[in-house]
Amino acid sequence: MKKSYSLALGWWAARWLCHIWVLKYIEENDIKISEIAWTSMWAIIWACFAIWKTTDEIKEIAKSINFLKMIDLDLKKWVVSGNKVYKVLEKIFWEIKIEDAKIKLKIIATDINTWDKIVFLKWRIVDAVRASISLPMIFTSFEYLWNNFIDGWLKANLPILDLEWKDIIAVSAIRDKWKEIVTKRKIWNFEFKKWFFWYNYQILKKTITILMWTNEDLSIELAKARWKDIILLSPDISSYEYYDFGKIDEITEKGYEEANFRLNI
């Protein structure tokens, strides 16, 4: 009998695009996936896979999304309201529910009232995804009845512990080579030393990455203590910034290369 695998998928801005071609490799090599757990923005991608979308269709959906046009500021809170994002999600998923998917789905979010991790096993996919992608300081939280949800990465960026199967394929988008902090920035023909915004952007980026890396390491170690067998994929996407949504072809290819190298199963 062919072995089944669970998938755990980690998050980090535009780097989630690498997962699309990891999926393509899985599709091409007929690797059986029995359940998927993910958090934040690539919930969109894997929900598409779970409702019978092919990888080529998924890539076209990702290419068709104009992320800049989805920015609709809430002027009272000075963050993205998420209304335009919600309309895009409705066009993709309509009224499809999590329990209707061909593969068992687990979409992760954080309840802002209790700070508990929430694992959606039932619900409309559009609502669960919107809850899961609510990145603090970027998106408004997602309110539903008496609940208020934000991004799931705060509690489980690589949600291995929420998977039931023993054999797990985990894909992390943050374990690339470390770069030194750049202290110079050239704009036109002028060079600025320790340019304020660029320098602080890099500090913030590394701070968040370290927090997520620690979060993922803890999940991996706890899963191993429970006798889980984990194949960890970490595509080398160190040359891409977190806002490089336009470089989908390059980033997806990195995901395929890593899957081809690691998934000798």
How far apart, in whole angstroms, are the C-alpha atoms of residue 183 and residue 146? 46
DSSP category for residue 19: H
pLDDT given at position 167: 93
Local confidence band at 220 (pLDDT 50, 70, 90 cut-offs): very high
How far apart, in whole angstroms, are the C-alpha atoms of residue 223 and residue 48? 27
Tell me what the mean pLDDT of segment 126-140 comes to: 85
Supply the mean pLDDT for the chain.
82
Tell me what the mean pLDDT of segment 12-33 comes to: 85
Local confidence band at 190 (pLDDT 50, 70, 90 cut-offs): low
Of all residues in the chain, what percent carry a pLDDT higher than 90? 19
pLDDT given at position 203: 79
pLDDT given at position 168: 94
Residues facing 169 on adjacent strands:
7, 231
Q: Dihedral sign, CA of 19, 21, 24, 28?
A: negative
Of all residues in the chain, what percent carry a pLDDT higher than 70? 86
Query: How far does Cα 235 stand from its chain's mean position?
Result: 14
- Highest mean pLDDT out of 43-47, 56-60, 106-110: 106-110
How far apart, in whole angstroms, are the C-alpha atoms of residue 34 and residue 172? 19
> Residue 85 has which token pair?
């994002």
153 versus 114: the higher-pLDDT residue is 114
The DSSP H or E segment spanning 94 is: none
For residue 129, CA distances in Å to 97, 120, 185 come to 11, 9, 37
Q: ∠ CA 220-169-29 to the nearest 5 degrees?
A: 170
Q: Which of 15-19, 20-24, 94-98, 193-197 has the lowest mean pLDDT?
A: 193-197
Q: Which of 42-46, 140-144, 157-161, 214-218 has the lowest mean pLDDT?
A: 42-46
CB 123 within 8 A of CB 93: no
How far apart, in whole angstroms, are the C-alpha atoms of residue 263 and residue 25? 9
Local confidence band at 6 (pLDDT 50, 70, 90 cut-offs): very high
For 18, phi and psi rounded to 5 degrees?
-65, -25
* pLDDT value at 205 more than 80: no
Torsion, Cα 122 216 228 41, to 10 degrees, reads: 30
Distance, first Cα to last Cα, the chain: 14
Query: How far does Cα 207 stand from its chain's mean position?
Result: 18
> pLDDT (tens digit, 9 = 90+) per residue, 63-122?
777 777 777 777 677 678 778 888 888 888 888 898 888 888 899 999 998 999 999 998
Q: Dihedral sign, CA of 140, 207, 223, 166?
A: positive
